[in-house]
Structure 1
Amino acid sequence: MTVTPHLFIPGPTNVPDAVRIAMNLPMEDMRSPEFPKLTLPIFEDLKKVFKMKDGRVFLFPSSGTGAWESAIQNTLAVGDKVLMSRFGQFSLLWVDMAERLGLKPEVCDEEWGTGVPVEKYADILAKDKNHEIKAVFVTQNETATGVASDVAGVRKALDAAKHPALLMVDGVSSVGSLEMRMGEWGVDCCVSGSQKGFMLPTGLGILAVSQKALDVNKSKNGRMNRCFFSFEDMIKTNDLGFFPYTPATTLIRGLRASIDLLLAEGIDNVVARHHRLASGVRAGVAAWGLKLCAKEPKWYSDTVSAILVPEGVDSNAVTKTAYYRYNTSLGLGLNKVAGKVFRIGHLGSLDEYMVGGVLFAVEMALKDNGIPVKLGSGTAAAAEYFTSNPVKSATSKEPLKA
Structure 2
Amino acid sequence: MVSGRTFIQNPGPTNIPDRVLRAMARPAIDFGTTEFSALLDSCLTRLNEHMGNSGPLIGYTSTGHGAWEATVTNLFDTGARVLLCDSGHFSHRWGEMCEAHGLDVCWFETGWQRGVDPDALRDALSTDAGRHIEGILLAHTETSTGVTSDLQAIRTVLDDLEHSALLVLDAIGSFGCTPINVDTLGVDACLVVSQKGLMMPIGLAFTGISDRAVDAAYANERGRFYWDWRRRLEAEGYRMFCGTPPIHHLFGLDEALCMIAEEGGIEAVTSRHRRLADAVRSAVGVWGEAGALEFNATKESERSDSVTCVRLAANYDADHVVAIARERFNLSMGSGIGPLAGSAFRIGHLGDLNVPMLLGALGAVEASLRVCQVPIGTGGLEAATKMLSEVSS
Identity %: 33
Distance 1:219 1:372 in 2: 58
**By how many angstroms is 1:240 displaced?**
6.7
Q: Distance in 1 between matches of 2:239 and 2:106?
A: 39
2: CA distance, partners of 1:44 / 1:352: 30
From 361, 364, 369, give the equivalent of 2:367.
364
Partner of 2:206: 206
What CA distance in whole angstroms lies between the structure 1 residues aligned with 2:240 and 2:155?
A: 34
Cα distance, 1:381–1:238 mapped onto 2, change above 3 Å:
farther
Q: Identify the residue that residue 3 of structure 1 maps to in structure 2.
A: 4
2:305 equivalent to 1:302:
yes
Residue type of the partner of 1:334? I
Distance 2:18 2:50 in 1: 21
TM-score, normalising length from structure 2?
A: 0.95
Q: Which amino acid aligns with 1:296?
A: K
> 1:78 touches 1:102 (CA, 8 Å); kept in 2?
yes
Q: Determine the structure 2 residue equivalent to 1:245.
A: 243
- Give the 5 Å matches for 1:368-379: 368-373=371-376, 377-379=379-381
Distance (whole Å) between structure 2 residues aligned to residue 240 and residue 29 of structure 1: 10
Say if 1:31 and 1:242, in contact at 8 Å, map to a contact too. no
Q: Distance in 2 between matches of 1:281 and 1:34?
A: 43
TM-superposition CA deviations, 1:284-319 (whole Å, max 9, x none):
011112311001102200100001112211100000
State whether structure 2 residue 285 is matched by structure 1 residue 283: no
Who is 1:98 aligned against? 98
- Give how far 1:242 is off: 5.8
1:17-66 superposed Cα distances (whole Å, 9 cap, x missing partner):
221211111123222342101111222111111011x2111110000110
Please give the alpha-carbon distance, in whole angstroms, between the structure 2 residues aligned to 1:310 and 1:369: 13
Within a 5 Å distance, the mapping from 1:193-342 to structure 2 comes to: 193-220=193-220, 222=221, 224-239=222-237, 243-264=241-262, 265-289=264-288, 290-342=293-345
Change (3 A) 1:20 1:240: closer
Letter in 2 for 1:219: A
Q: Name structure 1 gaps, 5 residues minimum.
A: 391-398
What is the CA RMSD across the aligned residues, in angstroms?
Answer: 1.5
- The amino acid across from 1:58 in the alignment is I
Match for residue 168 of structure 2? Answer: 168
Q: Which residue matches 2:13?
A: 12
| 2:48 aligned partner, one-letter code | K
Unpaired runs of 5+ residues, structure 2, are: none
Task: Considering fraction of residues, name the structure with more helix.
Answer: 2
Question: 1:383 maps to what in 2?
Answer: 385
| Pair 1:82-2:65 in alignment | no
Q: Distance in 1 between matches of 2:75 and 2:252?
A: 30
Is 1:8–1:358's contact at 8 Å kept on the other side of the alignment? yes
Question: CA–CA distance in 1 between the matches of 2:187 and 2:298?
Answer: 26
Rate the CA distance shift 1:109–1:241 in 2: closer, same or farther, 3 A.
Answer: closer
* Letter of the structure 2 residue corresponding to residue 308 of structure 1: R
Whole-angstrom CA distance in 2 between matches of 1:251 and 1:179: 24
Cα offset, 1:87, TM superposition: 2.2
- Give the 3 Å change call, closer, same or farther, for CA 374–162 of structure 1 in structure 2: closer
Q: What are the Cα deviations for residues 324-354 of structure 1, in whole angstroms up to 9, with x where unaligned?
A: 0111101000000001111100001111111
- Name the structure 2 match of 1:61: 61
User: In 2, Cα distance between the equivalents of 1:268 and 1:190?
Assistant: 18
Distance 1:142 1:238, change over 3 A: farther
Cα separation, 2, equivalents of 1:244 and 1:95 = 26
In 2, Cα distance between equivalents of 1:137 and 1:291: 29
Deviation at 1:127, TM superposition (A): 2.8
Within 1, Cα distance between the matches of 2:9 and 2:163?
A: 41
Q: Which one-letter code corresponds to 2:278 in the other structure?
A: S
CA distance, structure 1, for counterparts of residue 311 and residue 329 of structure 2: 20
Q: Secondary structure at the match of 2:175?
A: coil
Preserved CA contact (<8 Å) 1:237 1:243 = no
CA deviation vs aligned residue, 1:163-198 (integer Å, no higher than 9, x gap): 111000000010111111100000000111100011
Q: CA deviation at 1:4?
A: 1.8
Displacement after TM superposition at 1:236 (Å): 2.2
Contact 1:36-1:241 within 8 A present in 2 as well: no
1:131 offset after TM fit, Å?
1.0
Q: Is the 8 A contact 2:58 2:240 kept in 1?
A: no
Is 2:31 the counterpart of 1:30?
A: yes
Contact 1:85 1:108 (C-alpha < 8 Å) held by counterparts: yes
- 8 Å Cα contact 1:35-1:242 kept in structure 2: no
Matched-pair contact (CA < 8 Å) for 2:276–2:355: yes
Please report how far the alpha carbon of residue 237 of structure 1 lies from its aligned counterpart in structure 2 after TM superposition: 2.5
C-alpha distance in 2, partners of 1:296/1:266?
29
Change (3 A) 1:114 1:191: same
2:258 and 2:189 mapped to 1: Cα distance?
Answer: 23
Matched residue pairs, number?
Answer: 387
Deviations 1:190-239 (A, max 9, x none): 1111000111000001111111101221234x3x2211111112112254
